Chain A
């Protein structure tokens, strides 16, 4: 242990789903207080705060949490918001801005797929009015191409949805609590071929907070701190296949996920084979399929065997999205990346809300991804002390 290492010493969540009459800020306060209670701290002990939201103003939370004068940074990075907020807070601690930080993510989205303004993406109006500016189309087209290139059957997509639903059914904080069969998933209405409506997550509402501490302070405050061994954020390179692209280069390269995953593993000094519990962005079943390979957790095409053999089940040899992932929790995009970290931290502390992974996991990995090609990956480790 050294003074520059950052640990998660508290984690709190407001259940994801639909909560009429509850604001995004209300949920953020619930999650923050739960995380502070988990850490055994008051808000007055927080020296650095970073909040992420795409529908609210995080720094306004001080009016609800306490006017302590804390330095409070707001982050808005679409679906990757949580990962970027965590990186920002960890860097502030490493830079010596304090010993205790809070990271808070929340969002409260309207029903249905996100609508986007072409101008905000540097695109002209025709792109939206003619029906090309639809996120679900992108995920479907990316999935279709991947199935074609790697010989993956539609059944593998359905197996991902079914596995996620089992994680959600066991997790009291999840939105979708019913276990689905692959038959149900395949028979559901088609949204964007080859993805049915049970293969997509939906935007929803929720909040997550983490309390971080640096160096020896983490062990003074927490019996079982989890080390944030690395956090890496990357944007797309040339040739990556991203949403809202009127054109693509003919050859694929520049995946932000591949770059962020490799950097997070390198910083942590491990290989992907060391990962014992993982979270990957599963906006839809195709996204999980692709991200399993882009993070290096498996080879292209190997997903079919992993899903068929039960390897990615919570009790399998490579547990993935053990809390049900985005598919069962929905996606309040400011909180989503922090939900992943919250789940992995609790798995490493052997106190997951849902199904616990087998054995004695020491190393976990998270991957969040969003438009327009932003990925953030973390490696979390249970320290030997």
Chain B
């Protein structure tokens, strides 16, 4: 089993879950987990596990190969979908996997592993 590209993004690998944080002062939820709240600057937000199900809030398709620091797959660049996924308390930016055509705002998606550079994996949300 490959390893996560950025282990700190995950609260759990089985079942797969993202690690966020909730401010103990103002309740703002962030991803990735933060050492300081971006809303009120309070220190040491509490670590939380984010929901693995959500809805697409917005999306696009990246149709040209980005410049560095992007690393294309070993077998060449392919256009990929990205978007924000509404997890209730927070919108998380993510790669999207839609086997049945284009993403759509409001579509239900769930957390999955996605191939990342160096044989590692990252997170994505899939329909």
- Contacting A112 at CB < 8 Å: which of B32, B67, B80, B117? B67
Task: Quote the shortest CB–CB distance from A34 to chain B (angstroms).
Answer: 34
Candidates A117, A124, A137, A246; contact of B60 at CB < 8 Å: A137
Q: In the bound complex, what is the Cα–Cα distance between A112 and B39 (angstroms)? A: 33
In the assembled complex, the Cα of A313 lies from the Cα of B116 at a distance in Å of 47
Quick check: B64 and A132 within 8 Å, CB to CB? no
Encode contact with A along B93-126: 1 for CB under 8 Å, 0 otherwise.
1010000001001000000001011000010000
Q: Chain B contact residues (Cβ within 8 angstroms of A): what range? A: 35 or more
Asked whether, in the complex, the Cβ of A115 is within 8 Å of the Cβ of B67, the reply is yes
- Quick one: which of B49-65 are within 8 Å of A by CB? 57-64
Bound-state CA distance A113–B20 (Å) is 31
- The interface residues of chain A lying within 8 Å CB-to-CB of B93 are 132, 245-248
Count A-B contacts at CB 8 Å: 117
Does A216 belong to the interface (CB within 8 Å)?
A: no
**Smallest CB gap from B20: residue in A:** A247
Whole-angstrom distance from the CB of B55 to the nearest CB of chain A?
A: 11
Shortest CB-to-CB span from A111 to chain B, Å, is 11
- For B82, list chain A residues within 8 Å (CB): 131-132, 137, 141
B-chain residues with CB within 8 Å of residue A246 when the two chains form the complex:
31-32, 92-93
Pairwise interchain contact B66-A131, C-beta atoms closer than 8 A: yes
Complex contacts, A247 vs chain B, CB 8 Å: 20, 29-32, 90-93
Assembly CA distance A192 to B102 (angstroms): 13
Judge if B89 is at the interface, Cβ distance under 8 Å.
yes
Asked if B9 is at the interface of the complex by the 8 Å CB criterion, the answer is yes
Q: Roughly how many angstroms separate A118 CA and B69 CA in the complex, as a whole number?
A: 8
Q: Residues of B contacting A113 with CB < 8 Å?
A: 66-67
| Residues of chain B contacted by A189 (CB below 8 angstroms) | 63
Answer whether residue B5 sits at the interface, using C-beta atoms and an 8 A cutoff. Answer: yes
Bound together, the chains give a CA A359 to CA B92 distance in angstroms of: 49
Closest to A135 in B: B66
B6 within 8 A of A: yes
Q: Which of A117-143 contact B (CB under 8 A)?
A: 117-118, 124-126, 128-134, 136-137, 140-142
In this assembly, does A190 line the interface, its C-beta being within 8 Å of a C-beta of chain B? Answer: yes
Complex CA distance for A170 and B57, rounded to whole angstroms: 40
Residues of B within 8 A of A130 (CB): 5, 70, 95, 114, 116-117, 122
A contact residues vs B (CB 8 Å cutoff): 112-113, 115, 117-118, 124-126, 128-134, 136-137, 140-142, 144-145, 148, 189-195, 238, 245-250
Offer 27 A-B interface pairs, CB within 8 angstroms, sorted by A: A113-B66, A115-B66, A115-B68, A124-B32, A129-B69, A129-B71, A130-B5, A130-B95, A131-B80, A134-B62, A134-B70, A137-B60, A140-B60, A141-B58, A144-B105, A145-B57, A148-B105, A190-B61, A190-B63, A191-B63, A192-B63, A245-B93, A247-B90, A247-B92, A248-B93, A249-B91, A250-B90
Residues of B participating in the A interface, judged by any CB pair closer than 8 Å? 5-6, 8-9, 20, 28-32, 38-39, 57-64, 66-71, 80, 82-84, 86, 88-93, 95, 102, 105, 114, 116-117, 122
The 4 closest A-B pairs by CB, nearest first: A128-B69, A140-B60, A126-B6, A115-B67
